[in-house]
Amino acid sequence: MSSTAWSHQLDLLIRARTPLIWIRSSEEVRVETLLSQAAIRLQSQLTSWNFIDGLSGTLNDEGVGSRQPMAMLQWLQNLDPSRPTLVLAKDFHRFCDDPGVARMLRNLETSLRSTPHSLILCSGQWTPPADLDESLTLLDLPLPDADDLRQLISSIGLNSGSALDPAVLDELTQACSGLSEMRVRQVAARALARRGSIGAEDLAEVLEEKRQAIARSEVLEFCRSDSGTEAIGGHDSLKSWLQQRHRAFSEEARRFGLPLPRGVLLVGPQGTGKSLTAKAIARSWSMPLLRLDVGRLFAGLVGASEARTRDMIQLAEAMAPCVLWIDEIEKGFGGDGRSDGGTSQRVLANVLTWMAEKSSPVFVVATANGVDQLPPELLRKGRFDEIFLLDLPSESERQSILELHLKQRRPGVTLPLETVVSRCEGFSGAELEQTVIEAMHLAFAEHRELSETDLIRAASQLIPLSRTASESLAQLKEWAAGGRARQASIAGRNEA
């Protein structure tokens, strides 16, 4: 929801004489500014209350209710109806567990409907008492959109005495997507203290602020990605598909009528490059990579898991365009929902609904080591644009992977690999990398250059997962063969 649409929704609630409104946001200053603008539009007066200072901003009533939440509510109850008033109660959610305060709020929910007054609570994370659920009207405040950020950054530049170049303003606006107004002001303040102006030089500072914002979210992690899809050995079919989907993010694709890509589910045994692919997508597409640990969504308090899910979705959409990587999704949503009171099923339902209905450029990359624990609704067509099976590499792919790791770790060393490739049948990409590393250890211990013999010795000492978990791998291939998933490698190149 844009800020303009949000303001219209707020105005509608106030004009409809909604008595108790909960604005879910931690941006207290921004909420007060938006309410001030609403008060002007609706010809009302705005007063705010906090526990220390009491009421402020009203004529002849400064300080009323200081350290007395109930006194403020009684003041509001007796307020003259001829003075339409919006009361912003800061941190008031901390007092709502008190039986007297809760009862008074429920009384106000009835009495204020006949007056032009509204009590507005502002808080971030909060689970209201059950008896207040029906009394409160929730209004989520989204993070600043592109227009808000452009106006904010432009005004900061003008106030500092230097108007920003339009191209630099657009670049900073896009970079600041996902940051709160307060965080943008902090970045600008540091830039002004350092150079006396803001400009393109502050993009690195904005990126660091984003990392910190993600770190504070508890459920998302800002990941670095150093290599693109060129660092992936094999999986040519998947690479070609990703190239097509990248073009679908362009404005040209919108004009053509294409919808924004939803995402992809990567299924395969451990070590076949699922995590590497997620990182490579973000790097190749020049998008930030956000990693979601599904286990962190689940909190002990009732309703907290759903709240964390909403915050995760809001933050990911604010960071868009971005890649959201849900790692090992089966560990979070593959259990029995009855064991946790249905929390995991509710969280999964929220995520699936968002994935199906989202209109923001957030590309979801989910990875899973198997499908036996995944809920059927996650695998249904339409949740993801496509499901890919990342199988064990074929002979030519093993050659390519070994060459990549040798080039990365021992550039300039050229070795015959035919024998090594044949000895590594059934090895995953991670096991091939470990083969190269172990061979380097052998050579380094004897103070000489890496040789073909070292690679052969290292390969003979490693027992691949394809031998220790052959049954589960066979089941996964059988599942994919039924048309449920596409092969990540070009048809005909995989070994039987």
The pLDDT > 70 percentage for the chain reads 96
pLDDT given for residue 495 in this prediction: 44
pLDDT given for residue 171 in this prediction: 81
H helical segments located in 376-428: 376-379, 395-409, 418-423
CATH architecture for residues 395-462: Orthogonal Bundle (1.10)
Q: Residue 239 and residue 393: Cα distance in Å, rounded? A: 15
pLDDT given for residue 158 in this prediction: 87
Residue 494 has pLDDT above 80, yes or no: no
The residue-averaged pLDDT of 428-439 equals 94
The residue-averaged pLDDT of 101-114 equals 95
Quick check: 210 and 178 in contact, CB under 8 A? yes
Provide the angle, in degrees to the nearest 10, between the axes of the packed helices 203-216 and 304-319.
170
Residue 419 has pLDDT above 60, yes or no: yes
Tokens of 398: 């093993």
Residue 20 has pLDDT above 50, yes or no: yes
Would you place residue 457 in the very low, low, confident or very high pLDDT band (cuts 50, 70, 90)? very high
Q: What is the pTM of this model?
A: 0.70
The pLDDT tens digits of the residues spanning 252-272 come to 888 899 998 999 999 988 888
The pLDDT tens digits of the residues spanning 112-151 come to 999 999 999 999 878 899 889 899 999 999 888 888 999 9
Region for residue 323 given its phi and psi (left: phi exceeds 0; alpha: psi -120 to 50; beta: otherwise) = beta
Residue 49 has pLDDT above 90, yes or no: yes
Q: What residue ranges of the chain are covered by domains with CATH 1.10.8.60?
A: 395-462
The pLDDT tens digits of the residues spanning 173-215 come to 877 887 889 989 988 888 888 888 888 788 778 877 777 777 7
pLDDT given for residue 341 in this prediction: 65
Residue 319 has pLDDT above 70, yes or no: yes
Q: Residue 388 and residue 236: Cα distance in Å, rounded? A: 12
Residue 496 has pLDDT above 60, yes or no: no
Sign, CA torsion 189/191/196/197 = negative
pLDDT given for residue 251 in this prediction: 77
Residue 493 has pLDDT above 50, yes or no: no
Mean pLDDT of the chain: 88
Would you place residue 303 in the very low, low, confident or very high pLDDT band (cuts 50, 70, 90)? low
Phi, psi of 208 (to 5 degrees): -65, -40
Among the ranges given (111-120, 279-288, 298-307), the one the predictor scored with the smallest mean pLDDT: 298-307
More confident residue, 356 or 68: 68
- Residue whose C-alpha is closest to residue 234's, from 364, 403, 414: 403
More confident residue, 471 or 109: 109
pLDDT given for residue 323 in this prediction: 93
pLDDT given for residue 232 in this prediction: 82
Residue 248, C-beta contacts closer than 8 angstroms, at least 6 positions apart: 258, 259, 260, 261
pLDDT given for residue 190 in this prediction: 87
The pLDDT tens digits of the residues spanning 323-350 come to 999 988 888 776 655 556 678 888 888 8
Which CATH number does the domain 229-389 belong to among 3.40.50.720, 3.40.50.300, 1.10.4000.10, 3.30.70.580?
3.40.50.300
More confident residue, 1 or 120: 120
Tokens of 437: 């590393």
Q: Residue 52 and residue 65: Cα distance in Å, rounded? A: 9
DSSP for residue 495: -
Q: What residue ranges of the chain are covered by domains with CATH 3.40.50.300?
A: 3-140, 229-389
Tell me which CATH homologous superfamily contains domain 3-140: P-loop containing nucleotide triphosphate hydrolases (3.40.50.300)
Q: Give the helix/strand (H/E) hosting 98.
A: none
Pairing of strands 289-292, 220-223: antiparallel
Fold of 146-216: Helicase, Ruva Protein; domain 3 (1.10.8)
